[in-house]
Copies of this chain bind each other. A is one copy, B any other.
Amino acid sequence: MEFDDKVPIYYQIKQYICREIITGHLQAGSQVPAVRQLALDLTVNVNTIQRALTELNQDGVLVTKRGRGNFVTEDIQVLTAMKQQVVQAALSSTYDQLSRLGITPQEMVTALTTYIERREETTHE
């Protein structure tokens, strides 16, 4: 996995785990891979993984069961809210960025559409 040099890795790992949950790779109630396993998979130090998991526990997304490991919460409400929040954050961030560049809402939709079209052309070639 590639990390953005400008953002703390633990934070990017938090986002990564949330995405795994949202996309269903990690199901509600299922066990999260062991800290050491994640460290290997993501080629990241164990401490860094720990920090990400601790924060996700505080957010209620993960639940630690002593001696057994971390599990995705079974509280569907929490997960739904989390997904909502993540998607909204992405849209909101785009909106703000483009808006601060003087781009109007209408132009944003056009720009995104064009971006996607170009991208698909390039990929399909």
Contact = CB atoms under 8 A, between A and B. Distances in A.
Contacts of A92: 115
Contact of A87 (B45, B88, B111, B120): B111
Contacts of A87: 98, 101, 103, 111
Interface string A18-47: 010011100000000000000000000100
A6 B7 contact: yes
Copy tally for this chain in the complex stands at 4
Interface residues of A, number: 39
B22 A101 contact: yes
Contact of A112 (B66, B83, B86, B94): B94
Contacts of A66: 9
A91 B111 contact: yes
Nearest to A57: B5
Contact of A67 (B11, B22, B45, B67): B45
A15 to B, nearest CB: 9
A94 B83 CA distance: 15
B67 A95 contact: no
Contacts of A81: none
